[in-house]
Amino acid sequence: MHVKRTSLGTLLALTLFSSTSAAGIDDLLGTQPSDLPNGGNFKSAEICAGCHRTDANDNPAWKEHMPYDTWAGTMMGNAARDPVFFAALTVTNQDFPEMGTFCLRCHSPIAYVRGHASPPDGSGFDPNLSEGLVDTQGVGCDTCHRAAKLTDPADPNAPYYLANAQMLYEDDPDGTKRGPYSDANSPNHGSVQETSLASSSFCGQCHQVTNPEVMLRDEIGTPTTLEFPLDTTYEEWVASEFSVEATKKSCIDCHMRRADGDLPIVNLFDPKLRPNPRDHAIVGGNHWGIQAVMASPANAEHVEANQDAFALALDRTMESLRSAASVTLVEAPSEARPGEAFEVRVRVENLTGHKFPTGYAESRRAWVAVTLVDDEGVERTLLGGYDTATGEIVTDPPTHVYKAVHGKWNDQLGVGEAEEHLALHDMIISDTRIPPRGFVPSDTTRPTQEIDFTDGNGGYRSFDEASFTVTAPSGASGMQTLSVRVYYQSMTRHYIEFLRDQNVTDDRGQLLEEIYLATGEAPPILIASADAPIDFGGSAGPGGGGGQGGTGGTGSGGSPPNPSNPGDDGGCGCRAAGAGDAGPLAAAALTGLALVAATRRRRRR
């Protein structure tokens, strides 16, 4: 019998996720607008940068770890500059008036506390540039380093309100900052040590999102008492082996890497050196999102001032993606005949502490591809191809796609239907994302049955192992390379077109499409691969190793007969057999600034 030891904190957290204490958005806890005098006296990250970034006379290598330098190009630092967010915000407000204030609460917590998240379209952000940066920077320095904790939490190890950005702030005219060091001091602000700032529960304040206004329906459409789960990254971690004390890996263990050596985190004269300080390049999988921020005309000045930070964020995001999953070619023939069908068995393992992929369900997906590569490097896709004309994954032959699909119950038809109006979602239509190790799901995180992740012992596997039948090209000859791959996208054409077509209020959807086109249409990113030789006989000759593309049958998955032990890398080390194209470069995104400005056209009516 499979048994998982679950900590008290885990049980308490899962209880909170299942709570119905919040009857609606207006009942959410945390510091509310106008609770603090003078707007809370929050400072912009640019003020903090005066001490916490690399100056011209400093060691340039410090840009790899200094707080501002590593934060400024991330999606955290640009959460309120994200053109995808604002396009979705408009549609959300059309579907559910005033819901946008709830959305802005996560994307700019300080703007919410300052009372600037109303009106719900973001137009209330402070127009005063020196103060407005506090609103538009999204999740900035004071968002985290001014955050307070509960005085009497139910779980001392989780001293925050979990989910929906119910953050607490105190009236503090001195702007005291909380951080990891007991001996920090600054001429500009008070400093106190707060070790819980490094806890995963701190991240769980925002990286667990439910809709307090809409209850989840079960698979037959019956309403439950659970708020609809929009984003369950924190809950996925809590329900995994990564949250158990003996094998614990916190969020920052993977998402805030440590620098090597004793280094400064301030640029002052004779600064204290900190052993292996953590950087603030808090990135995940949203590679194209960073490019979209860079290509938005509204962000041109900010991007120009922080080019190195954006380049670093793109690089670190690629490193994060390439450490997220591994792929193994479990079984494949060493030889085959042209036009012959043959079987390959593939294993894709999730190396992260949450589902793979996790986060924004509307646009993130990964999938398996099988490709033949001849001795001249010409590729022929046998499975899991990507149709650039439609932006869709080729489904003939079918492959395994890892994604979540949300939707809405249709009373007339008596079925749940996939659709993209996220403020109205009340059903999980499908969830084929790969669970993390030791996963114990709840009603809001349980995988659906399209791919079987059960291990036969009452638990869930952290990998997908499946057999696929593919057909060799009729013109294949000679020795070639059989390559199994995992591709990932953080944005799809389908979602871009939805946000464009459904917008009847402003031009945000149209602008987003222009950014999408100018940045290469978010092409798939190769994040893992494994190769093996295969002999088709004969001599390939110049260009002779290709021939017509192959076809294949269905893929089948299930528990493998001899599952290997999972790795012990903790989800932070890349175990991919290989990695390929990194996708569009930062330079391409910068070029997109001019392209967008040049190609803007009237919004489609």
| Domain map (residue ranges) of the chain | 324-599
Choice between 152 and 84, residue whose per-residue pLDDT is larger: 84
> What are the pLDDT digits (tens) for 20-49?
444 699 999 999 998 999 889 999 999 999
Confidence of residue 545 (pLDDT cuts 50, 70, 90): very low
Confidence of residue 9 (pLDDT cuts 50, 70, 90): very low
Instruction: Please state the pTM of the whole predicted model.
Output: 0.88
Confidence of residue 560 (pLDDT cuts 50, 70, 90): very low
- The pLDDT value recorded for residue 23 is 66
- CA distances to 40, 385, 470 from 396, rounded to whole Å, are 57, 9, 10
Q: 324-599 has which CATH code?
A: 2.60.40.10
Cα(64)–Cα(490) distance, rounded to whole angstroms?
A: 25
Cα(80)–Cα(12) distance, rounded to whole angstroms?
A: 32
Confidence of residue 572 (pLDDT cuts 50, 70, 90): low
Choice between 140 and 132, residue whose per-residue pLDDT is larger: 140
- The pLDDT value recorded for residue 128 is 73
Confidence of residue 56 (pLDDT cuts 50, 70, 90): confident
> What are the pLDDT digits (tens) for 456-480?
999 999 999 999 999 999 999 999 9
Span 343-349, average pLDDT: 99
- The pLDDT value recorded for residue 549 is 39
Q: How many CB atoms lie within 10 A of CB 276?
A: 12
Examine the pLDDT at 434 and tell me if it is beyond 90. yes
Non-local CB neighbours of 471 within 8 Å, separated by 6+ positions: 339, 340, 341, 342, 382, 550, 551, 552
Cα(373)–Cα(378) distance, rounded to whole angstroms?
A: 6
Cα(274)–Cα(416) distance, rounded to whole angstroms?
A: 54
